[in-house]
Amino acid sequence: MDRFSLGLIGYPLSHSLSPKLHHAALKAAGLEGEYRLYPIAPDETGELKELRELVGRVRSGEIHGLNVTIPHKQTVIPYLDELTPTAQPIGAVNTIYRSNPRSDDLSRLIGDNTDAPGFLADLKRFLSSIPYSVFRKEALVLGAGGSARAVVYALLQNGWHVTISARRTEQVQTLANAFSQYPISNTQYPLINYQLPITLIVNTTSLGMTPHPDTSPWPADLPFPEHAAVYDLVYNPRETKLVREARAAGLPATTGLGMLIEQAALAFELWTGRGADREAARKAMRESLGR
């Protein structure tokens, strides 16, 4: 029986629940293995020797697969050989796997993005529970990093009009240029007001994440749009400040726990060739988050 060596690249990673999620998936599938955290701090020189060496361990077969999170979803791309049709237009990678895992030879490394389909699957589940008779597809995305690219791609592919708000205007422009065939708007950050009839707010920033749960990307003095839904990609803590305040304003809101499980299940299937037990993963996550 294969013993799978899996892991997550990013920084910081102390908040991550991915090891518990994937250990639950391995156990449910009857597979042996481990899922380790590989914290790699950003390098101002851009060399990222540690990142390159770690990716090389996937190429050699020492590691069977890696997830990638902030801040390396884009910086990891030069060390890969190929991007999937999903990762290519997004320009960000969250999953790395070998093209020929059964070979002892050095394999080509494939970069995929399971964030986009994982987000869309959970978003559809979330929106299906909202009893609105009319739901215009007008989304406001907060942030313009690697996660935002996956979210914006998923929304555009599903017929949404997207407005982006982020601190770095050049990052917003780069993201908009990547999807220039679609109508994308942008607005100032921090938000002062909003002009569009927003029906969905998606937070793709790390604001509100443990160990800083008292932060939020939404200005304290700005009312939420009426009849909007709020989706916060942050999943730890179990109820972020953004979600708590949106619910207090009477809006349906959810964290990114469902997306975490969906994207992880898709990555697990790429690495192992086995289906992931989503309910086992969800149970493990709820126990870890204290609910």
- The secondary structure element, H or E, covering residue 176 is helix 169-178
Per-residue tokens: 251: 């809006």
Question: What does DSSP say about strands 253-254 and 229-232: parallel, antiparallel, or unpaired?
Answer: parallel
Cβ–Cβ under 8 Å, residues 6 and 36:
yes
Q: How many CB atoms lie within 10 A of CB 139?
A: 25
Q: How far apart are CA 17 and CA 1, in angstroms?
A: 26
For 3, the token pair is 């013993």
The verdict on whether 73 is a catalytic residue reads yes
**DSSP 3-state of 37:** strand
* Nearest residue to 2 via CA among 102, 86, 98, 72: 102
Contact call for residues 16 and 8 (beta carbons, < 8 A): yes
CA distance 21 to 14: 15
Q: Please state, in angstroms and as integers, the Cα–Cα distance from residue 91 to each residue in 145, 195, 258, following that order.
A: 10, 29, 23
Q: Which of 20, 73, 137, 241 is catalytic?
A: 73
Rg, the chain, Cα only: 19
Question: Which residue matches tokens 């909007």?
Answer: 228
Catalytic residues: 73
